[in-house]
Amino acid sequence: MLKAQENRFNVRLDKFCRSTIQSFKTISPERKRMLDNIARNLADKRYVVFMCNTNSRRTQLLQVWAQTAFYYYGLYDKHAFSFGDTIIPVHPRVAWVLEQAGFYVNNLISVDPNGYMISSSTEFPQNVLSSKNDVGTIDTTIGLVVNICTEVEESESTIGKSGIHLPYQSPIPAENTIREKDKYRHLNHQIAVEMLYLGARTRELALQHKLIRF
């Protein structure tokens, strides 16, 4: 696996990322096949869009960690977005768990009281977390759509929109229970591990095909 770029995140987040990378070996063979397939499709594209029924929890974490992984591995021309069927508030545990990992987090009070501004350092653009049900026209020649719903969650609007699936279990059943914090920590860690792996593999494949230069 190729080495990461020089540290440009804040110290706490950089430490979290370096620790997380050590967990690549915990990714199951099945999940690695899924991630490798996404990396192959993403190597020559400019953005990835994660979609699910709502845009409030998993898709927001995926957006942040995919973009963070692109920056971490020097893929500055690639971007991550997310959307869902329904606009609902971004769950506060998403902001909480990202802050725990080392991101800078601020409320979007003046723009969206249910959204957040996330940043990894003063050097990189801020990531806006706001629930969306429309991201405009998705040009599949330069963009990739990834459906993260499990089979039991899929709606008519998500079925058929993407041939690429990367399902994650919803944290909703654990909310308002004593398991809520641990569930969000586990979900955040899984997504961080897999998106950093995706970033590393995308960079590796892009370099192999001379699609990017460093």
92 assigned to some structural domain: yes
Domain at 54, CATH number = 3.40.50.2300
3 assigned to some structural domain: no
| pLDDT score recorded for residue 148 | 94
Give me the number of domains the chain comprises: 1
Look up residue 75 and give its DSSP letter.
-
Q: What is the pLDDT of residues 36-48, one digit of tens each?
A: 999 999 999 999 9
d(CA 42, CA 19): 25
Cα 153 from chain centroid (whole Å): 19
Q: What's the alpha-carbon Rg for the chain, to the nearest Å?
A: 16
> For 138, what's the count of Cα atoms within 13 Å in the CB-facing half-sphere?
20
Strands 104-108 and 112-119: antiparallel
- Any idea what the Cα angle at residue 142 is, between residues 204 and 50, rounded to 5°? 80
* Domain of residue 190, residue span: 11-208
Name the pTM for this structure.
Answer: 0.91
Confidence of residue 182 (pLDDT cuts 50, 70, 90): very high
Q: What is the pLDDT of residues 48-92, one digit of tens each?
A: 999 998 899 999 999 999 999 999 999 999 999 999 988 899 999
Give the chain's mean pLDDT.
88
165 assigned to some structural domain: yes
